[in-house]
Amino acid sequence: MIGASVTKSWRMATAIGIFVIAALGVMFAVLALAKEPPTVDYAAGHQAGQPVDVTLQTVGSYGLAPHPTWVSFLTRTPQGTWVHTTLWQVPAHTRINVTIYNYDSGSPLRNQQIGLVTGTIGNVALLNGKAIHLVNSNAGNGVGHTFSIPTLGINIPLYGNNGNANLCAVAPCSTKSPNQVIKFSFMSPGPGQYPWQCFVPCALGYLYGNGGPMQTIGYMDGFMKVVS
């Protein structure tokens, strides 16, 4: 009799233990999903055949919790509000006109390959209104970041600002601060999720500059969500 009741209470304890572990698992999964930054929707209300404008900015330091010192991208909604996210949604098979305001400084690239403009319409970008096919990062202010969608062969080097200038340190930055305006266009592919990122090892204070913001959605990488 004693043996049977011990077994029974053990079974009960095991069942409760498994339930608690499962509940904690669900809780953490929900929390992890809730932590994902919001998606800016450029696809809503899209008229077939019309181009879509995507507007981003890059900052040398986000300036706010939880990571005030981290480099970051931000995305502007079609209504004009800056959102701290790198997730955005565009319609498929559509001309995407991108404008990036770069508020960060630059430096020479370790890998000259990412100084090339590739994968855009005409393999060209406009830097402050001037057509460019590459940025020689060993001249001038160098390159601060890239905007790259590897699966589509898209890479655009983002020319830096003078590091001695009074650069914006708290996002979102406004065009009152020194900035470089980079524009380019590409055709969105079919529906799917396309990862994009910066390829400059720009994460100050992390091993080889590749940790922290370089590996965090909402900072130096994100997803272009293409919908039909």
- Told to check if 54 binds Cu ion by CB under 5 A, we report no
**Which residues are CB-neighbours of 212 under 8 A, at least 6 positions away?**
67, 70, 203, 205, 206, 219
- Classify the C-alpha dihedral 45-125-128-101 as positive or negative: positive
- Taking CB atoms, the residue at the shortest distance from Cu ion is 198
- Told to check if 202 binds Cu ion by CB under 5 A, we report yes
- Could you say which residues in the range 127-146 bind Cu ion, by CB under 5 A? 145
Tokens found for residue 223: 């997803």
User: In terms of CB distance, is 114 or 200 closer to Cu ion?
Assistant: 200
| Sheet of strand 192-197, all strands in order from the earlier edge strand to the far edge | 39-41, 87-91, 221-227, 192-197, 143-149, 154-159
CB of 28 to Cu ion, least distance (A): 29
- Told to check if 156 binds Cu ion by CB under 5 A, we report no
Contact criterion met (CB below 8 Å) for 118 and 132: no
- Told to check if 198 binds Cu ion by CB under 5 A, we report yes
Q: Which of 40, 135, 171, 220 binds Cu ion (CB under 5 A)?
A: 220
DSSP 116: B
User: In terms of CB distance, is 39 or 107 closer to Cu ion?
Assistant: 107
Tokens found for residue 145: 């970041």
Contact criterion met (CB below 8 Å) for 78 and 42: yes
Contact string 160-179 vs Cu ion (x = CB under 5 A): --------------------
- Told to check if 52 binds Cu ion by CB under 5 A, we report no
CB of 206 to Cu ion, least distance (A): 12
**Which residues are CB-neighbours of 102 under 8 A, at least 6 positions away?**
57, 58, 144, 145, 158, 159, 160, 161, 179, 180, 181, 182
CB of 60 to Cu ion, least distance (A): 10
What's the CA gap between 60 and 165, in Å, rounded? Answer: 12
Region of 106-114, 119-127, 156-164, 197-205 interacting with Cu ion (CB under 5 A): 197-205
- Told to check if 158 binds Cu ion by CB under 5 A, we report no
- Told to check if 200 binds Cu ion by CB under 5 A, we report yes
Q: Which residues here bind Cu ion, judged by CB under 5 A?
A: 145, 198, 200, 202, 220
